[in-house]
């Protein structure tokens, strides 16, 4: 049985502290130091040797991209920082107790996941990944200790009432109650019957009785929407319980009443709204449990982040003079005296999924030139906002990113929008309030033009689509109800963005013959085609108000941040640092990946100390 590198990564994905590191790691089993190679660095006096780092590199995708130029020391630094943190975490968690049964449970999961049913299968598997049973269990125990230590950090967090209430003040919109209705509905398969039932309701017949007799949904409950089992009393429900067109019609009845017949999903709906319950701001007391849970989770994330920072800050790291890796971590910016080291920028850059893709496409220098300045700018802004949060004396909770976001909310709490601003937002952003065009679409594809033409002609004459397609060798694809840009380009253009005419047939509107690029021929059948509709302002004014307010608050927060930048003492050295990392032009031109320089001999004593 062959085990791939990807499979090895998956194994330890079960255990690795992925939240702390952008990459999943494998430790090298501890054995003979001579077999493990020379020591490259020490973390709190514990050596990390060549073989271990080589194995770790195999599970770090960035190294597979063969970085060159300034990218090489940047990726090296990012990688080594992860190694240092994980080593320091393992050391800090060394005294945490993990039972043998917990370790055995994880081993059993690995064996089950990879189908290692026999002892020989398991032995072969361990040999392929370079482990013994004992070293695998040691690695698992280390990972479980780290996880348990982090859980201890979370469990130690306590949330004050002041923090909970302040969190609610900042995130009040999150806890707004939605509009709800109490209603009954009748759902039938026949449009004529639905219209008849509507007329009978308007004439005075009891809606619940008609629902019991005719409805395909909740008939035994008199069509009561949201009713509990055994009850026929409707309960307040939000829009989500109805298909969208039904919800739009029902929730438009602010004074209650009866909707028109609405088609959705091939059925016909009739809704009697008994009460409209408008949404709005909830009081803290109404949502206190949810707020406390959310605020506590945010404070726990903050505690874990602070713990990881503290573990890294305490770590003493020394490097041997081997020239295998280039670790560079100068200060690239200061913000009112607070330093931002290069490793922080690298962490932000290389955790962006776009960056490895750019490097793979040979655009690594673009990643350096664009992503590093942009990421440093983001860190400078975050630092300024966190400094303001500290000055405010307010009980912000959350990670650094979350607190930076929340201080913007705090600064704009008193911002409001006028009715004129809401109307202006609606007029300037119509696409936000549009019900998109739609159509039910089927397409039938043929290998030859003659069969396609015959199919189209006979379909227009009234023959059944499925039978006819089967007879003539056509392949039917039912796309269902679609909106623009959800179909293949040719069909999408024909149905939604052209003025093409369609022939009428008993099965729907039939397109002209479509010749595709691969030489096949297609006929489209379209039903229930509806144009794009701009929802009236009165219907969406609450949504428009919320969006207009969010836009205004964001603009004011950005203006405030600009003021903070202008008044702050900021020194940005990133350009100079990156220039120093770039190899000389002649060296870069000569470099073709050949002729590596042999590393210098090393003793087991630290040769260099890095900050």
Distances 22 to 59, 316, 346, 383, 403 between C-alpha atoms, Å: 11, 22, 11, 22, 22
pLDDT of 9 above 50: no
Task: Enumerate long-range contacts of 513-520, CB under 8 Å, 24 or more apart.
Answer: 513/449, 513/452, 513/453, 513/456, 514/490, 515/449, 516/445, 516/490, 520/445, 520/446, 520/447
> How do beta strands 267-277 and 262-264 pair?
antiparallel
Query: What are the start and end residues of each CATH 1.10.4030.10 domain in the chain?
Result: 5-156
Query: How many residues does the structure list for the chain?
Result: 611
pLDDT higher at 36 or 162: 162
Regarding beta strands 317-319 and 338-341, do their DSSP bridges make them parallel or antiparallel, or are they unpaired?
unpaired
How much is the pLDDT for 77? 94
H or E stretch at 454: helix 449-461
- Residue 223 zone, left/alpha/beta (φ > 0; ψ -120 to 50; rest): left
Indicate the pLDDT class of residue 11, thresholds 50, 70 and 90: very low
Could you tell me the fold of the domain covering 5-156?
Triger factor/SurA peptide-binding fold (1.10.4030)
Distance in angstroms (rounded) separating the CA atoms of residues 355 and 472: 50
Please give the average per-residue pLDDT across 198-202, as a whole number.
97
Residue 594 has pLDDT above 50, yes or no: no
Integer Cα distance of 523 and 528 in angstroms: 17
Give the mean pLDDT of 427-448: 94
What's the pLDDT at 131? Answer: 81
Residues of the chain with CATH 3.10.50.40: 179-278, 434-534
Give the pLDDT confidence score for residue 362 in this predicted structure. Answer: 84
Locate 53 and state its tokens: 């780092």
> 179-278, what's its fold?
Chitinase A; domain 3 (3.10.50)
- 3-state class (DSSP) for residue 422: helix
- Higher pLDDT among residues 590 and 522, named by residue: 522
Percent of the chain residues past pLDDT 90, beyond the cut = 75
pLDDT (tens digit, 9 = 90+) per residue, 302-333?
A: 999 999 999 999 999 999 987 788 999 999 99
pLDDT for the residue 128: 84
For residues 167-179, average pLDDT: 93
**321 near 600, Cβ under 8 Å?**
yes
pLDDT at 340 over 50: yes
Judged against a pLDDT cut of 90, whether residue 270 lies above it is answered with: yes
End-to-end alpha carbon distance in the chain: 45
- In this predicted structure, the answer to whether residue 590 has a pLDDT above a threshold of 80 is no
DSSP symbol at 65? G
Average pLDDT over residues 485-501: 94
Most confidently modeled range among 8-17, 198-207, 430-439? 198-207
Q: Return the pLDDT at 80.
A: 94
pLDDT at 443 over 80: yes
Give the integer Cα–Cα distance in Å for 263 and 273: 17
Measured CA to CA in angstroms, residue 594 lies from 323, 591, 597 at distances of: 16, 7, 9
The CA distance from 444 to 330, in Å, is 64
Please check the confidence at residue 522 and state whether its pLDDT lies above 60: yes
Show the tokens assigned to 415: 């911002």
CB 178 within 8 A of CB 279: yes
Assess whether pLDDT exceeds 60 at residue 554.
Answer: yes
Residue-wise over 258-268: b if at least 16 C-beta within 10 A, else e? bbebbebeebb
Share the mean pLDDT of the chain. 88
Residue % of the chain over a pLDDT of 70: 90
Number of H helices, E strands in the chain: 24, 19
pLDDT exceeds cutoff 90 at 27: no
CATH (residue range 434-534): 3.10.50.40
Q: How many whole angstroms separate alpha carbon 119 and alpha carbon 116?
A: 8
Mean pLDDT of 85-104: 95
Q: Region 571-591: what's the mean pLDDT?
A: 76
Quick one: pLDDT at residue 68?
Answer: 80
Could you tell me what percentage of the chain is helix, strand and coil, using 3-state DSSP and rounding each to the nearest 5?
50, 15, 30
- Mapping DSSP onto H, E and C, the string for 256-309 reads CEECCCEEECCEEEEEEEEEEECCECCCCHHHHHHHHHHHHHHHHHHHHHHHHH
pLDDT band at 585 (very low <50, low <70, confident <90, very high): low
Q: If you average pLDDT over residues 185-200, what whole number do you get?
A: 96
Q: Which two tokens stand for residue 400?
A: 């650094």
Residue 589 predicted with pLDDT over 70: no
Cα 599 to Cα 385, 464, 596: the distances in Å are 45, 77, 9
Q: Positive or negative, the Cα torsion across 427, 428, 432, 435? A: positive
Residue with tokens 């194995």: 55
């Amino acid at each position: 049985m062959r085990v791939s590198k990807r499979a090895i990564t998956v194994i330890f994905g079960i255990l690795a502290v992925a939240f702390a590191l952008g990459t999943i790691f494998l430790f090298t089993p501890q054995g003979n130091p001579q077999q493990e190679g020379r020591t490259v660095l020490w973390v709190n006096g514990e050596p990390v040797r060549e073989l271990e780092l080589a194995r770790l590199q195999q599970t770090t995708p960035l190294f597979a991209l063969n970085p060159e130029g300034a990218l090489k020391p940047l990726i090296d630094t990012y990688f080594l920082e992860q190694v240092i943190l994980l080593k320091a975490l393992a050391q800090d968690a060394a005294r945490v107790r993990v039972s043998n049964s917990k370790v055995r449970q994880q081993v059993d999961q690995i064996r089950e996941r990879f189908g290692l049913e026999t002892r020989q299968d398991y032995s072969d598997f361990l040999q392929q990944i370079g482990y013994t049973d004992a070293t695998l269990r040691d690695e698992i125990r280390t990972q479980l200790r780290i996880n348990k230590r982090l859980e201890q950090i979370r469990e130690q967090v306590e949330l004050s009432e002041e923090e909970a209430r302040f969190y609610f003040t900042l995130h009040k919109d999150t806890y707004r109650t939605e509009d709800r209705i109490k209603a009954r509905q009748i759902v039938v398969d026949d449009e004529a019957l639905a219209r008849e039932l509507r007329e009978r309701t308007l004439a005075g017949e009891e809606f619940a009785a008609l629902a019991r007799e005719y409805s395909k949904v909740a008939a035994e409950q008199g069509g009561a929407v949201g009713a509990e089992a055994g009850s026929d009393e409707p309960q307040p429900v939000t829009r989500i319980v109805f298909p969208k067109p039904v919800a739009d019609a029902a929730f438009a009845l602010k004074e209650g009443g009866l909707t028109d017949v609405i088609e959705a999903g091939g059925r016909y709906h009739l809704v009697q709204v008994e009460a409209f319950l408008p949404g709005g701001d909830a009081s803290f007391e109404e949502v206190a449990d949810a707020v406390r849970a959310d605020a506590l989770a945010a404070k726990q994330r903050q505690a874990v982040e602070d713990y990881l920072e503290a573990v890294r800050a305490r770590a003493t790291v020394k490097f041997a003079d081997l020239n295998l890796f280039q670790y560079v971590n100068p200060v690239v910016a200061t913000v009112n005296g607070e330093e931002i080291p290069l490793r922080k920028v690298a962490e932000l850059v290389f955790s962006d999924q776009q960056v490895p893709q750019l490097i793979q496409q040979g655009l690594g220098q673009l990643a350096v030139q664009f992503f590093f300045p942009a990421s440093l700018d983001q860190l400078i802004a975050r630092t300024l906002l966190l400094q303001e949060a500290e000055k405010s004396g307010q009980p912000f909770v959350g990670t650094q990113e979350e607190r930076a976001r929340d201080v913007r909310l705090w600064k704009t709490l008193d911002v409001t929008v006028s009715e004129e601003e809401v109307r202006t937002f609606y007029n300037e952003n119509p696409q936000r309030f549009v019900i998109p065009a739609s159509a039910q679409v089927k397409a039938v594809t043929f290998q030859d033009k003659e069969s396609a033409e015959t199919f189209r002609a006979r379909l227009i004459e009234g023959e059944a689509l499925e039978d006819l397609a089967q007879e003539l060798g056509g392949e039917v694809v039912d796309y269902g109800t679609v909106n623009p840009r959800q179909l293949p380009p040719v069909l999408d253009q024909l149905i939604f963005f052209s003025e093409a005419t369609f022939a009428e047939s008993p099965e729907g509107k039939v397109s002209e013959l479509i010749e595709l690029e691969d030489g096949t021929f297609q006929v489209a059948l379209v039903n229930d085609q509806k144009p794009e509709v701009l929802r009236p302002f009165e219907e969406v004014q609450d949504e428009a108000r919320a969006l207009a307010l969010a836009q205004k608050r964001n603009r004011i927060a950005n203006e405030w941040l600009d003021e903070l930048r202008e008044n702050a003492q900021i020194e940005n050295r990133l350009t100079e640092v990156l220039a120093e990392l770039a190899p000389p032009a002649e060296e870069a031109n000569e470099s073709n990946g050949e002729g590596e320089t042999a590393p210098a001999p090393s003793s087991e004593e630290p040769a260099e100390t890095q900050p």
